[in-house]
Chain A
Amino acid sequence: MSAGTMAPIERREAPAKSEGAGAWALIGIETKHLLRSILIGIGVVGAVVATFRGSSGEWPTLAGADGVALRAGDFMGAFALLAGAWLGLRDNRTGAHELVGSTPTPPGSVRGRRLLSLAIVSTAAFSLVFLTSIAYAFARGGRGSPDLRLLLDGALATTLASWVGFGIGTLTRSIVVSLFAAPIYGLLSSQGLTYQLNIWKSHASYQWITPSATLPDRSPTLGFFPDIFWLHPLFLAGVATFLFSFVIVAVRQGSIGQRLRGPSTGVLVLGLATALIAGGSLLAKPDGYAPNGSDPTAWVARYDAGTALFADKPFRFADDHRATTCASGRVLTACVYPAYGPKLARLIVTEFEAEAELFHGLPGVPTKIRMVPAEGLDCLTKDGAMAFTEGDIYFLNDQFSSAKGAFVDCITKGSLFGLIDTQPSDARDAIKVWYLLERGVFTPAQASAALAEPPGQACTGPNGETCFDVVQILTAGSWTPASVRAALAMKALPVADVIRGLRPVWAGIRAGTLPLERLPGQAS
């Protein structure tokens, strides 16, 4: 093609980028900056450490790991606030505010995009903490399914914290206020502190409306009591929407009337209305529930304090057919909720098999242990199994071996771990001490030595007598020297003789009326 025939060069307009593409470009740039933020990094690392620490003392379940991650969100929130505040301060600190202000993009739009990038990074950061917690629980043998509403709630809480920071940084332009605000926000929204809010004897439940709400009482199988995790994310979304619109409206030029024109005012009102309605509903929720039967829907709402699902009056829980993961031993079967896995069922069998085997055949001695959701119950269920509450898992691995003898407590006193002992009886205590001696929790020599020691001043028994203080350190018991002497006398007999001797007096032992002298091996 010669030069003469070459088509003339046409002036073409560069394809105009849509405004949407520009918006995404800014969001992308800010997101990249935030992902490299050391402040967000510290928040994630700290929250992950907190989840490891928080889950180490608990039996691993995926339904518990989500709550551990949510609790660690307090720490995450403080650093998200710092990162957000820096984004709000940055233009003024670096002298770029005039440059940003000279671009055709309105300042409200720039701030909106920055808030969106904060939301993206906050959500990603909390999701990382959440997934780490779930993965850690799964690696430790946790079962069940996490409640993904907690992921949404934590992501919204972290986003809200970062937006609060952005608001503080933008409005105050003070590096001091922004830095001080972070630990204050983290502390005031920490669940360790907000839990105290529910002891203000008020009907309104303030603890449910903090950004990082206190976790309500929970059973992995039955859910939360009360269930706040429909309303709480809605509340957070309402507050965040209000804040988002407020930051955009606040930077507009003109009078208040002019600033309030436009769609963002509608969004602001919508956010405020949502926050008020959801917040009001949360305040009206009870603090907890008092179980009064086997049907959780009939449990009584309580507004005075956290109850930890503790029954006001002991009752026998009926089989709700939810404890379906079982393990069996020689004489004992243990069934737990599937979320706890077969490992826990096996551990319960291992822990209580010896006790069940020893007393096997005596009237009313159970051959089955079943998990129940509530505390403060009669230790036997309606169908004669021994009830094992979710809170009792703690006793299985604590350093004082206080689970040992719990089965004996149940079959003699009718209460787990002797926590509710309505009718103290030396004969019952003697049987428990004898069992602990047989099991080797302490030796007869230790018991004799403790008897010879002067009685401890701080320890008095239920009837004001001096109790057996040395052994009390080893277990949760509080026994009189007479009951320990009786147990030592029983220990001198063969085990089969003791069980044979217990059979005719068993009804009296369970009733709590048997005198100590009628136990096997006692000199009449």
Chain B
Amino acid sequence: MGGHPGWDAPSRTASWAGVVRLVAYRLRPVPWLALIGASAAWLTLVALLVPAQFGTDSAYRLLKSCSIILGLGGAFIVSTEIDPAEPVLRTASKPFWHTPAARMAVWLVLGTGLLAIMVAVLPVTALVAEPQMLMQALLPEFFLVTALSFLGATIAGSYVGGGLSVGFAAALFFASSQWRRVPFRLLDAPPARHASNKVLRHWYGGRLWTLALAIAFLTIPPLARRALLLLSRTEFRPA
């Protein structure tokens, strides 16, 4: 289909520049510098503390805390505190979910990278697990708390929503440590080297359940919004 008479189609380079500019606009409200700075500061402290004469349990507790702290970044993806003019943005020609999706993708990549750097510099010889096992121990919790914070921020704003998600994460951690029937095992340390197949199966099962929970929390806000939007359209449809 041709354009409007007199309208010149933009060159491919110009369209890419436009896309990049649009993505930059989408990402700009998120306090990336503060997020990366605060996360890196905590990860550095943990990397310094873990090799000290801490017991293995405390070392894992500290490492798991990295996932939780980084996961709080999910509270700054989309909220009324990050995008005060959110209702105006919704009327834009591009679907609004592109914005949270782009921000979430960037934050997940950044968080995973930060965790990977910490695991790489950590002298894990004192720990039972191997480095790749350690990443498997940390990433699902990071995704889960990110998703929880994203959900919390959508409901109650970045700050209160973030606080709510910490409380809810604590409840999930508590439940998983108290009831063996809860399938996701959030506080489990990685299995030892040469662990039996049964132990490994249990471990990977727990990881998968945690990921599934994270995906569920991540998809609830957009689906709920969509459902609310559809309902409101149905309700106020002109005669």
Binding site for B on A (CB under 8 A): 38-39, 42, 45-46, 49, 53, 75, 78-79, 82, 86, 89, 93, 174-180, 182-184, 187, 192-193, 196, 199-201
Contact = CB atoms under 8 A, between A and B. Distances in A.
A182 B163 CA distance: 9
Contacts of A89: 159
Nearest to B145: A183
The majority secondary structure among interface residues of chain B is: helix
B130 interface: no
Contacts of B38: 176-177, 180
Q: What 9 pairs between A and B have smallest CB-CB spacing? A: A176-B34, A42-B167, A180-B38, A179-B162, A196-B58, A82-B163, A39-B163, A196-B54, A187-B65
Interface stretch (B67-75, B102-110, B117-125, B214-222): B67-75
B163 A179 contact: yes
A79 B163 contact: yes
Contacts of B58: 192-193, 196
Contacts of B174: 49, 53
Given A38-B164, A79-B163, A86-B159, A183 B61 contact: no
Contact of A196 (B55, B75, B156, B158): B55
A78 B165 CA distance: 13
Contacts of B39: 180
B55 A46 contact: no
Contact of A93 (B81, B163, B167): B81
Contacts of B68: 183
Name which of B75, B76, B163 has the most chain A CB atoms within 10 A of its CB.
B163
A182 B166 contact: yes
Nearest to A190: B61
A200 B53 contact: yes
Given A38-B164, A49-B174, A179 B72 contact: yes
A176 B167 CA distance: 17
27 contacts: A38-B156, A39-B163, A46-B167, A46-B170, A46-B171, A49-B174, A75-B170, A79-B163, A79-B166, A79-B167, A82-B163, A82-B166, A93-B81, A174-B31, A175-B158, A177-B34, A179-B75, A179-B158, A179-B159, A179-B163, A180-B38, A183-B68, A183-B69, A184-B42, A192-B58, A193-B62, A199-B53
Contact of B61 (A79, A82, A192): A192
A147 to B, nearest CB: 27
B72 A193 contact: no
A82 B72 CA distance: 13
A219 B50 CA distance: 33
A443 to B, nearest CB: 29
B46 to A, nearest CB: 10
A331 to B, nearest CB: 41
A176 B62 CA distance: 20
Contacts of B75: 179
Nearest to B35: A176
A199 B163 contact: no
Nearest to B52: A200
A77 to B, nearest CB: 13
A78 B160 CA distance: 13
Contacts of A53: 174, 178
B65 A38 contact: no
Nearest to B73: A176
A82 B171 CA distance: 18
A176 B31 CA distance: 8
Contacts of B31: 174-176
A183 B167 contact: no
B99 to A, nearest CB: 19
Name which of A38, A49, A184, A201 has the most chain B CB atoms within 10 A of its CB.
A184
A387 B235 CA distance: 76
A83 to B, nearest CB: 8
Contacts of A39: 160, 163
A180 B61 contact: no
A182 B35 CA distance: 14
Given A174-B34, A177-B38, A42 B164 contact: yes
Nearest to B178: A53
Contact of A180 (B53, B55, B72): B72
A182 B166 CA distance: 9
A183 B160 contact: no
Given A93-B81, A179-B75, A196-B58, 7 more contacts: A42-B167, A79-B167, A86-B159, A86-B160, A175-B159, A178-B159, A182-B166
Name which of B52, B58, B81 has the most chain A CB atoms within 10 A of its CB.
B58
Interface string B63-87: 0010011001001100001000000
Nearest to A39: B163
A383 to B, nearest CB: 40
Contacts of B61: 187, 192-193
Nearest to B33: A176
Nearest to A169: B159
